[in-house]
Amino acid sequence: MQRNLLILLAFAVGASVLPFVASDFAVSMALTCLMYAALSSSWGLFCGTTRYLSLATSAFFGLGAYTGALVLDGLPWFATVAAGAAVATVVAVVMGAAVLHLRGTYFAVLTFGMTELIRHAITYWEKQVTGTVGRVLVAVPERDTVYFTVLALAVGALLLSIVVRRSRFGLAMAGIGSDEVRAQTLGVDTRVVKIAGFALTAAVAGAVGAAMSVRWTYIDPGTVFNPFIGFQTVLIALVGGAATLWGPLIAAVVFSVLAETLRLQMPQVYMMSLGLLLILCVLYLPGGLASLRWPGRKEASA
């Protein structure tokens, strides 16, 4: 654990220096990398451990973004980010209580369906109640404020993974992923553990959404509830190694570089690269990119 904390500290220090020495383009790319590092690390903490495939990340991200846009003018910046996390957490508890009794394809499809339901519900509310679709963000914090906030969230997500994986709560989630029925017989309240883990993932995604909402001067449901955000989070976690600690961070860097290099000029090549990376990892690196450096290591030692 001490080694992981030292690595995390080195990463935080190195990333903190970047805004002062790098170009705006490099900082923008790093911001995207940190966003997906936080999202995929928190997703892997729950889904990689319990083996529940959630496709609800974009819902929690969008809820956080919309919450942040609504309260940004009336609350301090950090209270705005906290509000985004709180709303996403409440929705995750309700959603988890409704669907976490399912597993496999049924759970994945239902989380995606509920994400689309939330997106269309907000679109309907905006059209019928407010008479418009989208929000214009006027009073936004400076670039460095947003960057260091997302950096803190990414570091916090990784630190949370380090701590939780070694706690009784983390062991309970690992037991659910290994054999849920056996975990129940050993006295684990699997329903409560699953809902708590699901809500933990949602809190991080909601906070990241609230922080990243100010990156756009105008947001609408199609932007912040974009399914691509959720799918890319899952891809990053799976390619990096959802059950590992540092795999999602490694993959977030790889995907961010690919995105900025290929997506604007050659979007088809970018999507093909995502699919190729996923296929190669599933076939030859089922443990993700992290297994290249730490072959055969158990997650407990990560």
Task: Please name the residue that has the structure tokens 């990156």.
Answer: 215
CA–CA gap between residue 229 and residue 135 (Å, rounded): 19
Q: Classify burial at 203, counting beta carbons within 10 Å of its beta carbon; exposed 0-12, middle 13-18, buried 19 or more.
A: buried
Confidence of residue 259 (pLDDT cuts 50, 70, 90): confident
Give 88-102 as a DSSP string: HHHHHHHHHHHHTT-
Of 194 and 286, the structure prediction assigns the larger pLDDT to: 194
Confidence of residue 263 (pLDDT cuts 50, 70, 90): low
Lowest pLDDT segment from 45-59, 82-96, 199-213, 252-266: 252-266
Does position 1 have pLDDT exceeding 90, yes or no?
A: no
Say if residues 66 and 194 touch (Cβ distance below 8 Å): no
pLDDT value at position 246?
Answer: 86
pTM for this predicted structure = 0.88
Which token pair is 198?
């699901």
pLDDT value at position 299?
Answer: 42
% of the chain residues with pLDDT over 90: 48
Does position 302 have pLDDT exceeding 50, yes or no?
A: no
- Count of helix runs (H) and strand runs (E) in the chain: 13, 2
CA–CA gap between residue 254 and residue 210 (Å, rounded): 24
Say if residues 92 and 59 touch (Cβ distance below 8 Å): no
In Å, how far are 43, 142, 156, 243 from 230, measured between CA atoms? 10, 26, 20, 18
What is the pLDDT averaged over residues 92-111?
A: 90
Radius of gyration of the chain, Cα coordinates, nearest whole angstrom? 19
pLDDT value at position 296?
Answer: 45
Of 92, 299, 103, nearest to 288 (Cα)? 299
Q: Give the count of beta carbons closer than 10 Å to the beta carbon of residue 274.
A: 20
Say if residues 58 and 221 touch (Cβ distance below 8 Å): no
What is the pLDDT averaged over residues 166-195?
A: 92
Say if residues 204 and 42 touch (Cβ distance below 8 Å): yes
Does position 298 have pLDDT exceeding 70, yes or no?
A: no
Which token pair is 188?
């684990």
Would you put residue 160 in left (φ > 0), alpha (ψ -120 to 50) or beta? alpha
Helix axes 227-240, 104-125, angle to 10 degrees: 150
pLDDT value at position 251?
Answer: 86
What is the pLDDT averaged over residues 268-296?
A: 68
Check residue 263 and report its DSSP letter. Answer: I
Does position 130 have pLDDT exceeding 90, yes or no?
A: no
Check residue 219 and report its DSSP letter. Answer: E
What is the pLDDT averaged over residues 39-51?
A: 92
Say if residues 251 and 232 touch (Cβ distance below 8 Å): no
Give the helix ranges, DSSP H, for 100-214.
104-125, 143-165, 168-185, 190-212
Which token pair is 300?
């407990």
Confidence of residue 295 (pLDDT cuts 50, 70, 90): very low
Angle CA 154–160–161, to nearest 5: 95
pLDDT value at position 150?
Answer: 96
Which H or E run contains 282? helix 267-284
Say if residues 218 and 74 touch (Cβ distance below 8 Å): no
Domain coordinates in residue numbering, the chain: 1-226
% of the chain residues with pLDDT over 70: 92
pLDDT value at position 260?
Answer: 73
pLDDT value at position 274?
Answer: 72
Q: Give the count of beta carbons closer than 10 Å to the beta carbon of residue 242.
A: 26
Does position 64 have pLDDT exceeding 50, yes or no?
A: yes
pLDDT value at position 62?
Answer: 94
pLDDT value at position 278?
Answer: 73
What is the pLDDT averaged over residues 196-216?
A: 94
Q: Which amino acid is at 256?
A: S
